[in-house]
Amino acid sequence: MCNTMNVTFKYNKGPLGPNSVRERKRKSRVSNKRDEHLLKKRNVPQEDSLEDSDFDSDFKGNATSDNAVVQLSAVQAARKLLSSDRNPPIDDLIKSGILPILVKCLERDDNPSLQFEAAWALTNIASGTSQQTQAVVKSNAVPLFLRLLHSPHHNVCEQAVWALGNIIGDGPQCRDYVISLGVVKPLLSFINPSIPITFLRNVTWVIVNLCRNKDPPPPMETVQELLPALCVLIYHTDINILVDTVWALSYLTDGGNEQIQMVIDSGVVPFLVPLLSHQEVKVQTAALRAVGNIVTGTDEQTQVVLNCDVLSHFPNLLTHPKEKINKEAVWFLSNITAGNQQQVQAVIDAGLVPLIIHQLAKGDFGTQKEAAWAISNLTISGRKDQESNTHTLQPQYHLLSVKDSQVVQVVLDGLKNVLIMAGDEASTIAEIIEESGGLEKIENLQQHENEDIYKLAFEIIDQYFSGDDIDEDPSLIPEATQGGTFNFDPASNLQTKEFKF
């Protein structure tokens, strides 16, 4: 959950007001590879695993044997085969009828070693494809795994937790099914000082999976149950537990304003913000996404984060050697500059605008896009005196030539709003834009295939650059209609010219 997010934006033809600003509060579009490979985990031991040829062809008979030693040996052999580093034959074993036998072994309270081996084998089957995970669910293993959470044997409990984590990680349907059977309370009961660190890591990972997915999000009652545990785990010194805890919070804050408010009300934000300067990049990355999601909410929710001195962390984040950190940092600030004027002023007072401009000029394309949003939002949300900080316009011009129409429109919107807000000084700003090479880029956009872009480019030129000293191509002027409006027809001007952007 990766989860690159598709976002729809609305654009106004004229000056953009407060309502449009709210539409520019955007969820992160930065993909997260972490989301792709930690939904499910296989338990692969250091010991040698079995090859297919070593597997007893009479597994069924041996695994149901009345001889406890023979039965345990058969189940253990299946588990070893499923623990192979190389492609384990999960489908073949499912077709062999192994699932009902393994599930039956989970009931054997008189033989915890057999329960452990069967749970381990089922864990690794559930770590496979969604179809393989569903096969475990349909074999009615989940109620038995929940029962094993109360086993007096730690290794059996931990293996049951691991299996449930893989099932929950299959998606919201499995997640909500396991929740409905009562997984949360026994799971949280394992968070205590006596729990082994490896066990607690698995418990925390399962909590992460419970917080994942927002279509639909986890039940509100579940979120309320999990938040106090996350508020405890955020103090943990183990990096793996801390990283997973912060990712869990990031998933919850990605679920809309109601979940954002629940996270805020838990009191965790003041402890989350300092993690932006943690020495571990993995912690910084997760914390940046979590606080970044919060500031996609209302101005009031955004202010909670700002009140924690969050902006003091951003000079280092904007100059971080990791490009991904730079990108998310600028994305965060783009949502602050989409806020109210006091929040825009906070970004200016923190000295962050020059750093955003630097990323606009020197960052990779993804970071430049976010920087364009940050500056454009500032021109919409800010006052005239605040916009004086955006007069370093030249770094934006190269983005007017990119193929990404959304970016081009964002930059044009920003330029137009600077000119609008300049009022009587608009001619001075227009002169700066012309002398620094911006006008030529805008003129080229009158040929753009996107209707909104070429209309906006024409409007900017018509309103601010239509003096006698401007050489205008008569063929580019739209035909006036009887109603006094312009008739834009890009096709007529594109038939004989080829443009490459």
Q: What string of DSSP letters covers 468-480?
A: TTS---GGGSPEE
Dihedral sign, Cα of residue 286, residue 292, residue 294, residue 297: negative
Burial of 428 (0-12, 13-18, 19+ CB in 10 A): exposed
pLDDT, position 254? 94
DSSP H helical ranges for 17-97: 18-23, 34-37, 59-63, 68-82, 90-95
Tell me the Ramachandran region of residue 209: left when phi exceeds 0, alpha when psi lies from -120 to 50, beta otherwise.
Answer: alpha
User: Which of 4-18, 199-213, 399-413 bottoms out in mean pLDDT, i.e. has the lowest?
Assistant: 4-18
Contact 172, 8 (CB under 8 A): no
User: Which of 41-55, 176-190, 196-210 bottoms out in mean pLDDT, i.e. has the lowest?
Assistant: 41-55
- What are the tens digits of pLDDT across the range 200-229? 999 999 999 999 998 899 999 999 999 999
Highest mean pLDDT among 8-12, 413-417, 484-488, 497-501: 413-417
Tell me the Ramachandran region of residue 415: left when phi exceeds 0, alpha when psi lies from -120 to 50, beta otherwise.
Answer: alpha
Contact 156, 119 (CB under 8 A): yes
Structure tokens given for 462: 């018509």
Structure tokens given for 269: 């934000």
Q: Which residue is it, tokens 């007096």?
A: 152
Beta strands in 24-133 (DSSP E): none
Mean pLDDT within 249-272: 96
Identical topology for domains 309-382 and 399-466: yes
Q: Which residues pair with 479 in a beta bridge?
A: 487
**Per-domain boundaries in the chain:** 57-181, 210-302, 309-382, 399-466
Using 50, 70 and 90 to split pLDDT, how confident is the model at 487? low
Using 50, 70 and 90 to split pLDDT, how confident is the model at 335? very high
Written as one letter, the residue type at 134 is Q
Mean pLDDT within 353-360: 93
Highest mean pLDDT among 40-54, 284-298, 432-446: 284-298
For residue 189, report the phi and psi dihedrals to the nearest 5 degrees.
-65, -20
Say whether pLDDT at 324 is over 80: yes
Burial of 490 (0-12, 13-18, 19+ CB in 10 A): middle
Residues of the chain above pLDDT 90, percent: 58
CATH entry, 309-382, from 1.10.10.10, 1.25.10.10, 1.10.150.120, 3.90.950.10 = 1.25.10.10
Radius of gyration of the CA atoms of the chain, in A:
29
The pTM is what? 0.82
CATH number of 399-466: 1.25.10.10
Mean pLDDT within 64-69: 81
**57-181, superfamily in CATH?**
Leucine-rich Repeat Variant (1.25.10.10)
pLDDT, position 467? 66
Mean pLDDT within 14-24: 41
Mean pLDDT within 255-283: 96
CATH number of 210-302: 1.25.10.10
- What are the tens digits of pLDDT across the range 141-174? 999 999 999 999 999 999 999 999 999 999 999 9
Say whether pLDDT at 130 is over 90: yes
